Structure 1
Amino acid sequence: MLKIKKISFLLLTLVLLSSCGEYQKVLNKGTVEEQYKLAVKMYETKKYAKALRLFEKITPSYRGKPQMERIAFMVAQSNFNEKSYALSGYYFDRFTKNYTKSSKKEEAAYLSAYSYKLASPSFSLDPTDTNKALEAFQNFINTYPNSDKIEEANNHYKDLRYKLQKKYFEIAKTYYKTADYDLRNYKAAIQAFDNLLADYLGSEFKEEALFYRLKAAHDFVLKSTVRRKPERADDAIEAYDKLKRNFPESQFMEEADEMLATLQKEKKDAEDLIAKQLELQNSLKK
């Protein structure tokens, strides 16, 4: 029994060595046609890395020929199966643009968008691929509204949109949380929350964003000079009104009411002090 196993192992090894030898021989010295046939064979047997090396070699020779459409799709699919998602997104997208009448155009459009989604990192990192995926899914949804992939595409789009919202919400919160060390970050936080609310009207973060926008504006008033307080208090009170108008039963309403009372007092005290200062200046001119 042991002897049979050894023989089987040796035979398998010889087959593998022979296969590797054939691959290297065709890769380095085979004709373009031989390389094409072997590339397809590697692709069909799921040896995608080897297929890609061969496709890379033969592409210049097949450019403009009928076989190039098939090669282009297999290159994109091989990169996808090798989990090189940024590359597969690019190649699938290029396929849709180069082969507008292809029967595989819809599939390529979907896989391009899905590739970019898989390439998209966590919300805290560079959103380049996330933006590409969003745009690609939006184009797919607009172009193929009756596709059997439309529900999946819509779900992917929602996931990506949520990821971007979370990213921008966390950036705005970071500005707010670091404003004690750099007062300019109060302005940055207010602007960041305003941008989020303007860009994502139905945002899942709307209630919390409105609340933190109010907090940033409230705290900015407390750190402001007397001369700046009335104007900044008005902005903060407007932020309070937006929160209450949109979420009258908000979980943050109790704290928001306390901030409103503080803002009204800060504004009145600042206006009274400014009025007294002006009165004093006028009396000294006389």
Structure 2
Amino acid sequence: MFKKLSLGFFSASLAAVLIFAGCKSKFEKLKASNDNLKKYQEAIKYYNKKEYTKALELFDDLSVKYRGRQGAEDMFYYYAYTNYKLKDFTSARYQFKNFAENYQADPRAEECRFMAAYCFYLDSPNYTLDQDNTTKAIEALQLFINLYPKSDRVAEASKLIQDLRDKLEEKSYTNAKLYLTIMDYQSAVIAFGNSLRDYPDTKYAEEMDFLTIKAQYLYAKNSNERRQEERYNQAISFHDQFVEKYPNSKYLKEAASLKKDSENGIKQVQRFMAEAATNVRLARKLAQKDSVKIQVPSEKQQSQKIPN
């Protein structure tokens, strides 16, 4: 009885293995064959069944053999979408772009031009990382709008561009704040100014204008005494511009405190410079100082880098 059951189980297992091997063998034989029409038909079937990996293997082979042939556009259209379905957006955008450029008269050229740009959009990374693909995505989407200004996809392309610009804005804001965190105050002032120039309508405008005052004050405070007065005065100027621009800002109290500290800093440095004018030792010491005091960041601050 046991032998019969074992033999039956072995026979069933063997049959299953042979069936599986036969299916695999059928696909491998198809891949190795020169029947391109059959390959194309089966690739479409695999694509429609969402078996994109198998479809891609066949399309990879067909892409070489179909190049330049009549009717090749259908194959390349499917080829691009197969890469897209597999989330290989780099390959997909390359294929979509090629289709749009090689088959400009095809009704699907507009769609493929948009999809090429959209693949760049999908490959745009988190704002903390390098934003090269984000910039390229904006350029590609803008090119699409320029080429097809009456397209139904223009509204979507415009929205995607805004999403990408928001990401660049976020990165610019974060990088500027990081300069302040690592105590590179002069760079922080410059970075805040650049960010506000590049994104004048940013939602962070009020905060960055306030932080500009703070960064300038700290820059002045950590400067050589010879340069402190002019730099404190710049902090005061930033404060006055801020109050005029944001009369009801939540930062007014802190901004006023920074202005007062700047004014006190000016008085203090004026007394110091007056004393240095009559004190040879103090004057000699002042002459030896660098234009900005050397700041030694902590280990934590040293580990923080400004991303690209």
TM bin (shorter chain)? 0.7 to 0.9
Contact 1:168/1:196 (8 A) holds in 2: yes
1:62 aligns with 2:61: no
Amino acid at match of 1:204: K
Q: Which has the larger radius of gyration?
A: 2
Q: TM-score, normalised by structure 2?
A: 0.76
2:135 equivalent in structure 1: 131
Once the two structures are TM-superposed, the CA of residue 260 in structure 1 deviates from its matched residue by: 1.5
The 1-side partners of 2:88 and 2:225 are apart by: 58
2:161 equivalent in structure 1: 157
Q: Identity across aligned pairs (percent)?
A: 32
Q: TM-score, normalised by structure 1?
A: 0.82
Report 1:1-286 matches (<5 A).
19-179=23-183, 185-275=184-274, 277-278=276-277
Residues 258 and 130 (structure 1 numbering): CA distance in 2 closer, same or farther, change over 3 Å?
same
SS at 2:156 equivalent: helix
The 2-side partners of 1:88 and 1:253 are apart by: 52
The 1-side partners of 2:19 and 2:149 are apart by: 49
**Uncovered stretches (5+) of structure 2, i.e. residues with no partner:** 1-13, 284-308
SS at 1:228 equivalent: helix
The RMSD of aligned alpha carbons is 2.8
Once the two structures are TM-superposed, the CA of residue 16 in structure 1 deviates from its matched residue by: 6.9
What is the total number of aligned residue pairs between the two structures? 268
Once the two structures are TM-superposed, the CA of residue 187 in structure 1 deviates from its matched residue by: 2.1
Once the two structures are TM-superposed, the CA of residue 226 in structure 1 deviates from its matched residue by: 0.8
Once the two structures are TM-superposed, the CA of residue 229 in structure 1 deviates from its matched residue by: 0.8
More relative contact order in 1 or in 2 (CA 8 Å, sep 6+)? Answer: 2
The 2-side partners of 1:145 and 1:26 are apart by: 44
Residues 248 and 67 (structure 1 numbering): CA distance in 2 closer, same or farther, change over 3 Å?
farther
Residues 244 and 75 (structure 1 numbering): CA distance in 2 closer, same or farther, change over 3 Å?
farther
Amino acid at match of 1:256: A
Q: Deviations over 1:167-188 (max 9, x none)?
A: 1211111121121xxxxx2222
**Uncovered stretches (5+) of structure 1, i.e. residues with no partner:** 1-9, 180-184
Once the two structures are TM-superposed, the CA of residue 18 in structure 1 deviates from its matched residue by: 5.1
The 2-side partners of 1:149 and 1:131 are apart by: 20
Once the two structures are TM-superposed, the CA of residue 95 in structure 1 deviates from its matched residue by: 2.7
Amino acid at match of 1:170: T
